[in-house]
Amino acid sequence: MISLKEKEEDFSIRIKERAIVEGFAVSGIASIKKSSRLKLRNNALERWLENGYHSDMKWMEAEKRKNIESLLKGAKSILSVGFNYLSKDHKQNTKFKIGKFGQGEDYHKIIYKKLKNLGKWLDNEIPNCKWKICVDTSPLLEKAWAEEAGLGWISKNSNLINTDYGSWMTLGFMILTKDLTPDNPSKSLCGRCEKCIEQCPTNAITEPFVINSNLCIAYHTIENRNKKLPEQIEQNLNGWIAGCDICQDVCPWNKSVPFNDSIEAAPKSWLEKLDAESLSWKEEEWNTKLRGSTLRRIKPWMWKRNIRAIIKKY
Statement to judge: residues 120 and 264 lie in one domain: no
Residue 57, classed as helix, strand or coil, is coil
Angle, helix 107-125 to helix 4-21, in steps of 10 degrees: 140
- 241-287 confidence digits (pLDDT tens): 999 999 999 999 999 999 999 999 999 988 888 888 888 888 888 88
For 299, the enclosing helix (H) or strand (E) is none
CA distance linking residue 190 with residue 180, whole number of Å: 29
Give pLDDT, residue 1.
43
Q: Which is more confident, 16 or 314? A: 16
Statement to judge: residues 201 and 72 lie in one domain: no
CB hemisphere CA count around 122 (13 angstroms) = 26
Query: Which residue, 143, 176, 209, sits at the end of a domain?
Result: 176
Statement to judge: residues 149 and 24 lie in one domain: yes
- Structural domain boundaries enclosing 166: 4-87+104-176
**Residue 199 counted as domain residue:** yes
Statement to judge: residues 135 and 242 lie in one domain: no
Statement to judge: residues 12 and 151 lie in one domain: yes
CA distance linking residue 147 with residue 154, whole number of Å: 7
CA distance linking residue 28 with residue 185, whole number of Å: 9
> In percent, how much of the chain has pLDDT > 90?
74
In 70-137, at which residue ranges do the beta strands (DSSP E only) sit? 77-84, 97-98, 131-134
What is the β-pairing status of strands 77-84 and 26-31? antiparallel
Among this protein's residues, is 136 annotated catalytic?
Answer: yes
Residue 293, classed as helix, strand or coil, is coil
Statement to judge: residues 249 and 300 lie in one domain: yes
Statement to judge: residues 42 and 75 lie in one domain: yes
Q: Comparing C-alpha atoms, which of 155, 157, 162, 169 is closest to residue 213?
A: 157
Statement to judge: residues 138 and 276 lie in one domain: no
Q: Comparing C-alpha atoms, which of 61, 22, 301, 308 is closest to residue 174?
A: 22
Of 10, 56, 123, 136, which one is the catalytic site residue?
Answer: 136
- 75-129 confidence digits (pLDDT tens): 999 999 999 999 998 866 668 899 999 999 999 999 999 999 999 999 999 999 9
| Overall pTM surpassing 0.75 (yes/no) | yes
